[in-house]
Amino acid sequence: MSGGTRSRCRRALLVALAFAVRFLFVAAVITVAVFVSEALGARFGEDKGAIAAVMLVVVVFLSLALTVMELLARRITAERPAARIAEMAERLAAGDVSVRALPAHAYGSYDVYDKIGLDLERVAARLAAAARAGNDFISNVSHELKTPLAVIVSYAQALEKPLPDDTRAEYLAVLRQEAEKLAALVQGVLRLNRLEQRKSGTVRAEVDLREQLAGCILQFEDAMEQKGLSLTCDLAEVRVCSDAECLELVWNNLLSNAVKFTDRGGIRVTLAREGAHAVVTVSDTGCGISAETGAHIFEQFYQGDTSHAREGNGLGLALVKKVISVLGGTIGVESEEGKGSTFRVTLPLHP
């Protein structure tokens, strides 16, 4: 017998026991009333007025006892747990996310009030996690903005002084580079925000993945030639019902990273159909990533290889992860330091 079945059986037994106790109490009340009626008949004979008066007192007393029992049972089984739940909800509404449920029953025998309390505790935990994520996001954005802004201010102040033409041109190039980095950061943040709001609003249409991937690869051919990298493609004919704009963002980010982190060897891109899914892999023979870096590589602003930090802001793979999640797919990475990485994206053919 499974744990869930045993839990349901225990709850059914507890409910049956509660009803049995109520039934026996009511039966006892009726039995007492019958015995009292017979005893009064034997005692007072034909004096129906006396019998009625005593029976009225007995019925009132027994009804009062039954009412008190029901009130106590209701207070214990309903009012107290409802009051705890109301207090938890009130604290949550006031912004207190430290609320904790205190189930009145053992695990496996939870009643509906225990379950509601545990659900509220989970809500509080999610709110706390969301608040931490929001604070971390603001902190990370502030940190990422600080460096290019400091550089811009410094070089702008230097340009206020008389400088040789070649030095001025060099400073202006630095300013442009830092401004472009700021623009890319802001664009990445806005894209993440739009994707958070876009889960049910993706523009789905038929996408020819082979054609789309080929177009994205062509954009990086010059960069590969400059670094002397080889390119291998194995693209099958696969079409999916998805968001073309979002998918293009994914391929561009994965190809950009492959080129960025590969100095020798080459890049391989494959596209295949596996059952009801399309599978795309982007492999490189670059520097690879460690297991520690792989555990955080899809987090916002995380950069495992700081030697390339000037080329990005750590939002690329976070965007990729978010896009794939919105489109109902998955993404994973296999990598070995010094030997390269392989990113594998799985997309449903039809959402």
Residue 105, token pair as written in the block? 């029953």
pLDDT for 5 equals 65
Flag whether 343 is in a domain: yes
Last residue of one domain, picked from the residues 148, 178, 196: 196
Residue 107 domain-assigned (yes or no):
no
pLDDT at 236: 94
Among 154, 170, 196, the domain-final residue is 196
**Which among 340, 318, 344, 317 is positioned nearest to 330, based on CA atoms?**
344
Residue 146: CATH number of its domain = 1.10.287.130
Other beta carbons within 10 angstroms of residue 61's beta carbon come to 12
Q: Determine the pLDDT at residue 79.
A: 74
Same domain? For 91 and 167 the reply is no
- The b-or-e profile of 81-108 (16+ CB within 10 A means b, else e) is beebbeebeeebeeeebebebebbeeee
pLDDT in tens, the chain (351 residues): 555 566 566 666 766 776 776 777 677 767 776 776 677 666 666 666 666 666 667 677 777 777 777 777 777 667 777 888 888 888 888 888 888 887 776 777 777 778 888 888 888 888 888 787 677 667 767 766 777 788 889 889 988 888 898 988 998 998 998 888 788 777 767 766 666 665 545 667 899 999 999 999 998 998 899 999 999 999 999 999 988 888 888 898 899 889 988 989 999 999 999 999 999 999 999 888 876 665 567 665 545 544 444 444 456 677 788 888 888 899 988 888 888 899 999 999 987
Q: Are 240 and 209 in contact (CB under 8 A)?
A: yes
Supply the pLDDT for residue 320: 83
Q: Are residues 329 and 273 in the same domain?
A: yes
Q: How many CB atoms lie within 10 A of CB 147?
A: 14
Range of the domain at 167: 136-196
Question: What value, to the nearest 5°, has the Cα angle with vertex 17 and ends 15 and 22?
Answer: 100
Cα–Cα distance, 118 to 286 (Å, whole number):
47
At 48 the pLDDT is: 66
Helix, strand, coil % in the chain, rounded to nearest 5: 65, 15, 25
Counted domains in the chain: 3
* Three-state DSSP state, 268: strand
Residues 59 and 173 grouped into a single domain: no
Beta carbons of 174 and 153 less than 8 angstroms apart: no
Nearest of 70, 294, 255 to residue 302 by alpha carbon: 294
pLDDT at 312: 45
Q: Specify the pLDDT at position 306.
A: 44
Are residues 238 and 184 located together in one domain of the fold? no
C-alpha span between 303 and 147 (Å, rounded): 15
- The structure tokens listed for 203 are 């523009």
pLDDT, residue 237, reads 94
Residue 53 within a domain: yes
Query: Are both 91 and 12 inside the same structural domain?
Result: yes
The candidate with the shortest Cα–Cα distance to 103, out of 121, 124, 90, is 121
Give the global pTM.
0.53
Report the distance separating Cα 266 and Cα 282, nearest Å.
11
Contacts 24+ apart (CB under 8 A), 175-178: 178/148, 178/151, 178/152
**Angle, CA of 318, 319 and 320, to the nearest 5°:** 90
Residue 88 domain-assigned?
yes
- Which residue in 240, 243, 249, 252 sits closest to 279, CA to CA? 240
Residue 70 lies in a domain: yes
Structural domain contains residue 126? no
Q: Is 210 in the same domain as 343?
A: yes
